[in-house]
Chain A
Amino acid sequence: MLEIIEMIIKALLKKYNITEESIKKLGPTGRARVVAYILMPTLILFLLITALYKGWLGVDLERAFAISELKTVVTEGGIVSPRRGVVIIAEPIDYNYLIPIARNNSEIWSALTEDDVRSNKDMKHNVDNLSLGSDELKVATSFYGVSEPVAIVVEGELGKEIKFRGRREPMDDWRLSSRRNANLAFWPLAICFLAYGIAVVRGAPIIEPDQHDASQVGAEPDKE
């Protein structure tokens, strides 16, 4: 990653003919302007994108799944009674996790077709991409042959922590959130990039035309 960034920076510096000397030529105001308009916002947006990508500051956009807890059932006569269950929306991202579901009825109801279920069951090695134990649901995404999110429903009581390889995380961090809220969080970020674009244009130093550039010759033919 760093090598790619270094390569891009070097290529950009070369393309725009930015050398130590040309930086010195900018003068104190020009240098400050470049830092305030370009370098500082670039650094912040770079950190922000890295945070989104790596999950720093608790920001993790590419969530492999979301959980919603089912609590009641309403019968035909309008009688409300408690019934516990869990809905999992599993994204087609490579991820392994165990969701604690106690007192379950050993049934998984999912959006996978019968064919998909068979493809994701390795009978020989007794390994399933989707299986339910006595108190845990094991999910290993992405599922073979499935490129869309998959809804999974299991009856039972949801536990407090999800197990991943080498760590545990609180259930609350993985609950389903409203799309309206996600929109509210991301749209301003898009405008930030628009502002960044304006800042780069405003802050970029004016490049003096090269006196010996052949393309300049004849630009004003009436003058010598």
Chain B
Amino acid sequence: MAGLVVAALLGLSLFIVHFSLRARPMPKDHPLNVDDGLPLPELAQSSTVFSLTGLFGAYLGIAIALGLPALTGLAFGTVLGLFIVRYWIDSTLKRADPSGKKRFETFLFRLLESKGKRNATAYAFMLAGAQCVYATCELLIFRELAKAALGLRPEQATLLAIGVGVMGYFYVLFGGYMAVFRTDVVQLGLVSVMAVVCSAVLLYHYSWAEWTTRLLPRPGFWEPPFLAPGPWLYPVHFGIAAVMGLGQMLASPDTWKRVFQVSKKRRRPSTRGVILVCVGTLPYLVLLPIAIAISINTEGPIRKGVTQARAVADNSVFAVTALGLVASFLSAFTSALLASVHIQLMLRRKRVGDELEEAGFYWRMVAALVTIGILFVGALYAFNDPSPNRFNNPWLLGNMLMGVYAAIAGVQAGTRGDISRLPKNSLPVIFALVISGWLLYFFNSPGFSKEPTIYSVNTVPMGVGFFFVTALLSRFFIFGGRKYARNHRDDNQSPS
């Protein structure tokens, strides 16, 4: 029954995409230059945070291990991120074309303005690559959740993940942004139903006494050596989580598009502000009961702590959970795939000019799918081997990705969202230094564990540290570059 319902949902979404696209086809010259007619962007905004990687990866780990102070920090950082992104888009568009019509592509194209080709290429490569890896993480975590929460066998879970991933590819190929935004509305509705049902089940099964004890941080997480454990750690946890939430918004092109769509609508600034706050905090409200209900033995691997809930034995709860998971996965997967392709298209435009982009869109779709496919199969073999002494940690890739997000967000913060401030060819150097540093750290961190462990959450403060280091490094290069240019100019002028 649940299978049939999921199939009906996928089929229905497919027909929504197919028929809405017949009425409003993608523009042939610039297939992704679509800003008008995208329904309810404020609803779809939440899907960025509703992704499986966010909900069931780092954010869930943080919520379980560090409780309410860190979760509040994440929510605050996310909302702050949304406001900063809005300001950034507005100011970039004003700079790019003060009198022209505001288009998202104008903003995205302006982002790749840089001194020298290499900076733009490195930036686009990092953004698009991160989105492809992110989409792969979604596949891996979806597969794992299908096993853990729905009780699927490994091969069934693999099949489900591949099947739904292929559907995501077709949605984006058929309809681009129009397909993603339209299906997002249905998908967010389903995720919300799942959240309400799960919360109701959890409220029924857990007493309030347990809830309050689980809202506090557990020992052994985010404890700086210079501070003794106690309530004074809460602001530290809040701050670290806030930077993490902010960083994810700054480094996610999908978020930029959705914030742009929300800002584009003619509304009073206060209404717009309330909307951004609501969409930013909603996913964390959903996460809270799940985090409280899941009891993880912090000493052992996670897989042994998370077991299939007895409530899922009920057919309707099973169907609702399956639908919610599929919807959440599809939404995040299609958004990441589309964001990756759009960034690549902008880089192409930068190189070959503003000509017909239809063929470019198709080739980039194929390239992104091949990349995701290879990464998925590779990760399945490398990180999902149940044999002893082999890696069996599907969260590993997502954890590793945190460093890449920190690097991208750090560059955004250091350059104030304008990489053209950086001197020629400096961005590849910054990325190479930061990513190498992150990998060196990560391979010796609790995150690089053969079995999934809640202690991988302890890599977050270091990720935040890498964010600040990247921002400082970018500032250093900007000042260094200016000084060099000034000296060079003086040297050239002095003989005359």
A: which residues have CB within 8 A of B?
Answer: 28-29, 31-33, 35-37, 40-41, 44-45, 48, 52, 57-60, 177-178, 180-192, 194-196, 198-199, 202
Contact = CB atoms under 8 A, between A and B. Distances in A.
A192 B166 contact: yes
A185 B359 contact: no
Nearest to B384: A58
A60 B156 CA distance: 9
Contacts of A52: 159
Interface string B335-378: 00000000000000000000010111011011001100100010
B3 interface: yes
Nearest to B365: A36
Contact of B160 (A35, A188, A195): A188
Contact of B158 (A45, A58, A182, A196): A58
A181 B158 contact: no
B7 A187 contact: yes
Interface stretch (B125-133, B146-154, B281-289): B146-154
B362 A35 contact: yes
Contacts, number: 129
Interface of B: 1-4, 6-7, 10-11, 14, 18, 146, 150-160, 162-164, 166-167, 169-170, 173-174, 315, 318, 322, 326, 356, 358-360, 362-363, 365-366, 369-370, 373, 377, 380
A184 B162 contact: no
Contacts of B159: 48, 52, 59, 185-186, 189
B160 A44 contact: no
A195 B362 contact: no
A180 B2 contact: yes
A87 to B, nearest CB: 17
Contact of A184 (B14, B150, B366): B150
Contact of A199 (B1, B11, B170, B373): B170
A178 B151 contact: yes
A196 B164 CA distance: 13
A148 to B, nearest CB: 23
B148 to A, nearest CB: 13
A188 B152 contact: no
B3 A32 contact: no
Given A177-B153, A177-B156, A189-B163, A33 B362 contact: yes
Contacts of B150: 181, 184
B362 A188 contact: no
Nearest to B356: A29
Contacts of A198: 14, 18, 170, 174
Contacts of A177: 152-153, 156
Contacts of B14: 191, 194-195, 198
Nearest to B369: A40
A159 B2 CA distance: 34
B366 A36 contact: yes
Contacts of B366: 32, 35-36, 40
A-B pairs, 6 with minimum CB distance: A183-B3, A187-B7, A187-B3, A32-B362, A36-B362, A185-B156
Nearest to B14: A195
Contact of B163 (A41, A60, A192): A192
Nearest to B166: A192
A188 B174 contact: no
B359 A188 contact: no
A188 B358 contact: no
A183 B167 CA distance: 17
A185 B152 contact: yes
A100 B390 CA distance: 26
A156 to B, nearest CB: 25
Contact of A28 (B359, B369, B377): B359
A35 B174 contact: no
A31 B362 CA distance: 9
A36 B174 CA distance: 10
21 contacts: A32-B358, A35-B366, A37-B173, A40-B366, A40-B369, A40-B370, A41-B166, A48-B166, A52-B159, A57-B155, A177-B153, A180-B315, A181-B150, A183-B1, A184-B6, A184-B156, A187-B7, A188-B3, A189-B159, A191-B11, A192-B170
* From A57, A178, A187, residue with most partner B Cβ within 10 Å: A187
A67 to B, nearest CB: 13
Contacts of A32: 358-360, 362-363, 366
Contacts of A45: 166
B20 to A, nearest CB: 13
B84 to A, nearest CB: 35
Nearest to A44: B166
B380 A57 contact: yes
Contact of B167 (A33, A37, A60, A192): A192
B99 to A, nearest CB: 33
Contacts of A189: 159, 163
Given A186-B159, A191-B167, 19 more contacts: A29-B362, A32-B358, A32-B366, A36-B362, A37-B362, A40-B366, A52-B159, A59-B155, A60-B155, A180-B315, A181-B156, A182-B3, A183-B4, A184-B152, A187-B4, A188-B163, A188-B326, A192-B167, A199-B170
A184 B315 CA distance: 12
Contacts of A36: 173, 362-363, 365-366
Contacts of A194: 11, 14
Nearest to B171: A195
Nearest to A181: B152
Contacts of A57: 155, 158, 377, 380
A173 B74 CA distance: 40
A180 B146 CA distance: 13
A85 B162 CA distance: 36
A196 B11 CA distance: 12
Contacts of B163: 185, 188-189, 191-192
B438 to A, nearest CB: 30
Contacts of A33: 358-359, 362
B358 A191 contact: no
Contact of B3 (A28, A58, A185): A185
A35 B3 CA distance: 30
B139 to A, nearest CB: 12
B158 A199 contact: no
Given A40-B369, A185-B156, A188-B7, A29 B170 contact: no
